[in-house]
Amino acid sequence: MKSLIQLTVNGRLVEAAVEPNRTLLQFLREDLELTGPKHGCGLGDCGACTVILDGKPVNSCLVLAVQANGREVLTIEGLAENGKLHPIQQAFVDKGAIQCGFCTPGMILSAKALLDANPRPTEQEIRLAISGNLCRCTGYQKIVEAVGEAAKTIQGMEVS
């Protein structure tokens, strides 16, 4: 028995009928064809499916689509505005924080949630914020540097 849900995804209102056991990740990937959130484990271990739900980063494989009813979801596809990369995305590109890229969407969204709440994080705060996002390629160093760089860029933008 499907339920009707209504939610905002990347700023747009979406209405859909979903099975009660459909995860938010399945809903985004298969129904909305937003394949930026990745399926790495299905158990909430790897963080590749991270999206921002009402301002907080969540593993979308552990959230049911029906639980997102009436709420606001941001996926990686909704971050760049008018084709211009968000400063976190730009820093990931510039600093070499991306290798295979499979963890990247989740990593960037965890970083965004951090910088929204804490615009000037310490290195340790950055590491803690992304500790639920596994990366096997980079050893994290360039990711941590990229988040720090993005924080500076965003600060600079706000000052000017």
Partner 1 sequence: MTQFQVLNTRAPRLDAPAKATGQAKYADDLTMPGMLWGAILHSPYAHAKILHIDTSKALKLPGVKAVVTAKEAGLIKYGVSPARYDETLFAYEKVRYVGDEIAAVAAVDQATAQEALDLIKVDYEELPAVFDMFEAMKEGAPQIHDEFPGNLNAEVHQEFGDVEAAMAASDLVISHTFLNKRQDAAFIEPHACMAVFDSDGRLTVHSSTQVPHYAQRTIAMVLQMPIGKVRVVKPYVGGGFGPKAEATPLEMSAAFLSRLSGKPVKMTYTREEVFLHSRARHQFYAEMSLGVKKDGTMLGLKNKAVLDGGAYTSFGIATVYYSGSLLGGPYKLQGMKYDGYRVYTNRPACGAQRGHGGVAHRAAFEQLLDMTAEKLGMDPIEMRLKNIMKRGDTTVNELDMSSLGMEECIQAVRDASGWNEKKGRLPKGKGIGAACGFFVSGAGYPIYRSDTYHSTVVIKVSEDGGIATVLTGSAEIGQGSDTMVAMFAAETLGIPLDNVRVVSGDTDLSVDLGAYSSRQTLMTGHATKEAAEQVREQIVQLLADDLGYEASSITFRDGIVLFDGGPGNFEKVRTMYIKEHRGWTDPPHGEYLTFREAARLAYLKKGTLVGTGKYKPPKLGGSYKGAAVGTSPAYGCSAQVAEVSVDMETGEVTVDRMYDAHDCGLAVNRTQVEGQMQGSLSMGLGETLFEEVKFDSRGRILNASLGEYRIPTALDMPNVDTVIVESNEPKGPYGAKEVGEGAIMPTIPAILNAIYDATGIRVNELPSSSERLYMKLKSKE
Q: Which of 114, 36, 157 is nearest to 146 (CA)?
A: 114
32 contributes a contact to partner 1 by CB under 8 A: no
- Torsion sign (Cα): 13, 35, 48, 126: negative
Query: Tokens in use for 45?
Result: 């271990």
> Considering beta carbons, is residue 73 or 79 the nearer one to partner 1?
79
Taking CB under 8 A as the binding criterion, the range among 52-60, 114-122, 128-136, 152-160 that sits at the site for partner 1 is 128-136
80 contributes a contact to partner 1 by CB under 8 A: yes
Taking CB under 8 A as the binding criterion, the range among 52-60, 62-70, 122-130, 149-157 that sits at the site for partner 1 is 122-130
> Considering beta carbons, is residue 45 or 70 the nearer one to partner 1?
45
In sequence order, what are the beta bridge partners of 59?
A: 50
Minimum separation from the CB atom of position 126 to partner 1 (A): 8
Residue 40 DSSP label: S
Q: Which of 74, 64, 92, 1 is nearest to 34 (CA)?
A: 74
> Considering beta carbons, is residue 8 or 90 the nearer one to partner 1?
90
Taking CB under 8 A as the binding criterion, the range among 62-70, 91-99, 113-121, 149-157 that sits at the site for partner 1 is 91-99
98 contributes a contact to partner 1 by CB under 8 A: yes
Q: Is 106 exposed, middle or buried (0-12, 13-18, 19+ CB in 10 A)?
A: buried
> Considering beta carbons, is residue 6 or 122 the nearer one to partner 1?
122
H or E stretch including 91?
A: helix 87-95
Helix 87-95 and helix 141-159: axis angle, to 10°? 140
121 contributes a contact to partner 1 by CB under 8 A: no
Contact residues for partner 1 (CB under 8 A)?
Answer: 29, 33-46, 48, 75-77, 79-80, 85, 89-90, 92-96, 98-105, 108, 126-128, 130-144
